[in-house]
Structures are given as C-alpha cells and as structure tokens.
Copies of this chain bind each other. A is one copy, B any other.
Amino acid sequence: MDVQKELKPYVIGLDLGGTNSVFGIVDSRGEIKATTAIKTQVYDNVNEYVKASVEALQAIIDQVGGIDKIKAMGIGAPNGNYYNGTIEFAPNLKWGRDGVVPLADLFSKALGIPVALTNDANAAAIGEMAYGVARGMKNFIVITLGTGVGSGIVVNGQLVYGSDGFAGELGHVVVRTPNGRPCGCGRTGCLEAYCSATGVARTAREFLATRQDESLLRELNPEDITSLDVAIAAGKGDELAKEIFEFTGSLLGEACANFAAFSSPEAFIFFGGLTKAGDLLMKPIIESYQKNVLNIYKGKAKFLVSGLDGSSAAVLGASAVGWDL
C-alpha cells in the first residue's frame, strides 16, 4: 500500500455537479495538487463530455508528472451507482437524464486507470472518513444540506450501498404524515421538502404568509427569497428568520432521532451550504434530537459540521472513492 502510494502518489477526484465539473489531483493526505474545471452541460452527449474532461485533465496530469503517477480516479455524481459505475436517470444532467450512463467505464478507457463512482453524498461521507471529522469512526451519517438533502451512511466502517447501490437517500424519508409538503420526488412529507435550501425558502414564504409579525424578509419579494436571505436576516437578529431555522433544525433533529433507531451512529455530520448558519441551525437540531430520540440513545451521538473546506470538500470526497480502489 505505502509502496503503491509512492509509485502512484495521486488520485483524480471529480465533483460532477449540474453546472460545473471540478477536477482535482489529490495526494494521500488530502492535499489538492492541481485543479481544473469544465461546464457540465454544454456537451450534447456523454462521449463529448468525457473527451472535453480528458483534454482539460491533461494539463494538470502533466503538472504532477504524467498519468503514471496516478493510481485511480474517483467520481461523485448525482444518481451515481457505485456497483455499476453508472449515472442512472439523473434529472439534472442533460446527457444523463434518459438512461444509464457508464461514466466510470468511459473515463477508465479514456485515461487507462481504474475509476470508481458514487453519488455525491456518499462521496462526502467517504471524504469525511478519509480526511475530515469522521477519521477513525466506524458508524456515522453524513447529511448534505444543499439544493436537496442527501446522505451517506457508514456502518462497520463501510459505506452502505444496499442491494442496488442506491441506499442512503435519507432526504426522502417521510417526516410529516399525513398531508406533508409536496416533494420534488412526487411524494409528500419528505425531509428534503423541509430541510433543503429550497425547503428553508418555502418555510420562509409559509411563515410570511400565515403570520403578521415584522421581519426584514418582508422587504423582499417572497418568490425570490433564498435560504441565504433567511440566514442573513437571522444573523441580524430577525426573530422570524431565526424561527425558520429553529423549525428546520427541529425537523432535522426529529429525523436524526429516527435514523438513530436504524444504525445508532457515533455522529451525525452536516455538510453543505445551510451549515453556514452555524448554531442557528445546529442548536435546534441537537435540542430536538435529545427531545425526540429513544431513551437508550440519549446523549450518545455527536453533532458535527463537516471539517472539510467547502470549496474543495466535494473533490476530496470524490478522490477518496478513488483511493478505495
């Protein structure tokens, strides 16, 4: 292993997002040696996307001494399936929404190195285990709070992929029944409908419409309110904005209490844009968890915010998938 790492000291990480595809060349300590990016969606099909990626990669590969120095590539991608190395019916990818794209295979053939792929939240969990706050932990859950709510679950030191490679969609656990909020997945009451960035904005519009109290948020067009606006207002002491985060955190705490009954993790680790709200969000999560969790689990789990640098965390997570090969 160590000899291997000396001969081939780097892996490529690809954080494949709906807008940008960010590549990094990473060493075994999680240092990003070189980075590049392309736009994800300007290509009509996946072959053109891979071709453009490899062209962009060539410059940074040369920078670290050529492809012989690179052990593998890891990809974090929406709807990524680790077992098959495929992206399956990803609604936000022009060249990936209508079927099964064998992206790991395509990159492996183009670069001549092994390539592994998983979904973005799983990549985040692997990244936390390799370089982040989950180092040394065997049982933990990463919850990503972004446009959607994703999750990566680790049990006995292993990522939970399940029978089909799609386990760990905790954003689509139903937390309000019956008559919960409609969710983008076509069902109602999902955690994601409340606790994603868009869920926070929906809560803001609901609170503003059903209540009369003053708020800085009333100066904005309700349709344009984002979770960032809510965070800024809350940071200025706006009571209604603070209550929006309390509501969001309270639901996340309830949900985590249910997740504890599943895998009793050592820690819940939060990742993504919403975590910038800090204690505004984390305090109600922890309070609600302690209130709602089954007695035997009380006071045991840690609640942590990802320790990985926001801008590079997704690339690091993806690269960690490559180290596992």
**Which residues from chain B contact A264 at a C-beta distance below 8 Å?**
161-168
A173-B262, A254-B174 in contact; A139/B162 too (CB < 8 A)? yes
Q: What separation, in Å, do the CA atoms of A161 and B119 have in the docked complex?
A: 25
Residue A43 is within 8 A (CB to CB) of chain B in the complex: no
**Which residues from chain B contact A33 at a C-beta distance below 8 Å?**
none
Q: What separation, in Å, do the CA atoms of A153 and B158 have in the docked complex?
A: 15
Residues of chain A from 125 to 167 with CB closer than 8 A to chain B in the complex: 138-139, 153, 155-156, 158, 160-167
A162-B139, A254-B177, A300-B164 in contact; A153/B292 too (CB < 8 A)? no
Residue of B nearest to A191 (CB): B261
Residue of B nearest to A265 (CB): B163
Copies of this protein in the complex? 2
Specify which of A169, A262, A300 lies most central, judged by the most chain B CB atoms within 10 Å of its CB.
Answer: A262
Residue A221 is within 8 A (CB to CB) of chain B in the complex: no
Report A163 CB to chain B, min CB distance, Å: 4
A294 adjacent to B177 (CB under 8 Å): no
Residue A295 is within 8 A (CB to CB) of chain B in the complex: yes
**Which residues from chain B contact A167 at a C-beta distance below 8 Å?**
139, 261-264
A138 adjacent to B158 (CB under 8 Å): no
Residue of B nearest to A185 (CB): B294
A residues contacting B by CB (< 8 A) are 79, 88-89, 138-139, 153, 155-156, 158, 160-170, 172-177, 185-187, 254, 257-259, 261-266, 292, 294-297, 300-301
> Could you list 25 A-B pairs, sorted by A, with CB under 8 Å?
A139-B162, A155-B156, A155-B158, A155-B160, A156-B158, A156-B160, A160-B262, A161-B264, A162-B263, A163-B301, A164-B264, A164-B296, A166-B264, A166-B296, A167-B263, A169-B294, A170-B261, A170-B262, A172-B294, A174-B257, A174-B258, A174-B292, A175-B177, A258-B258, A262-B263
